[in-house]
Amino acid sequence: MPRLAGVDIPGNKQIRYSLRYILGIGPKFADQIIAEVGLDPTKHAKDLTEEEISKIAAVVDTSYVVEGALRRQVSQQIQRLRDIRCYRGDRHRRGLPVRGQRTRCNARTRKGRKKTVAGKKGVKG
């Protein structure tokens, strides 16, 4: 299993798909990296030589923000929104959807498990 940018990438997959296991590298960037290094996109990651791995690592390190640096950058941006007390920062602080989604139903991913409120249905006036 080759190791790039501190991540073990699967060796049994083609290199264009294996590179996507690195946070910050998607389909477009994976294809750009392969073209820049000059590899066959259908070659499997386990078949790469040490020289090819080092070329890929050099391109990733110089041209892209990946893994730890990317996580840090995203968390700093969210913290900035919280600090300036903007709407998006308040939504992050409360754990609610940030990008305008409705919350009356279908916001369980952000809100977490249901919190049952006692006595809501049976009250009649």
The structure's pTM equals 0.76
Q: Which domains does the chain have, with CATH numbers?
A: 3-63 (1.10.8.50), 69-111 (4.10.910.10)
On the question of pLDDT at 114 being above 70, the answer is yes
| CA neighbor of 61 nearest in space, from 37, 77, 43, 40 | 37
Quote the crossing angle between the two packed helices 67-83 and 87-94, to the nearest 10°.
110
pLDDT of residue 5: 73
On the question of pLDDT at 120 being above 80, the answer is no
On the question of pLDDT at 88 being above 60, the answer is yes
* 14 phi, psi to nearest 5 deg: -65, 150
- Give the whole-angstrom CA distance, residue 60 versus residue 52: 12
Average pLDDT, rounded, for the chain: 89
Q: Count of alpha carbons within 13 Å of 86, Cβ hemisphere only?
A: 8
pLDDT of residue 44: 92
Alpha helix segments (H runs only) across 13-96? 15-18, 27-37, 50-63, 67-83, 87-94
Q: Tens of pLDDT along 93-110?
A: 999 999 999 998 888 999
pLDDT of residue 124: 64
Q: Tens of pLDDT along 11-49?
A: 899 999 999 999 999 999 999 999 999 999 899 988 988
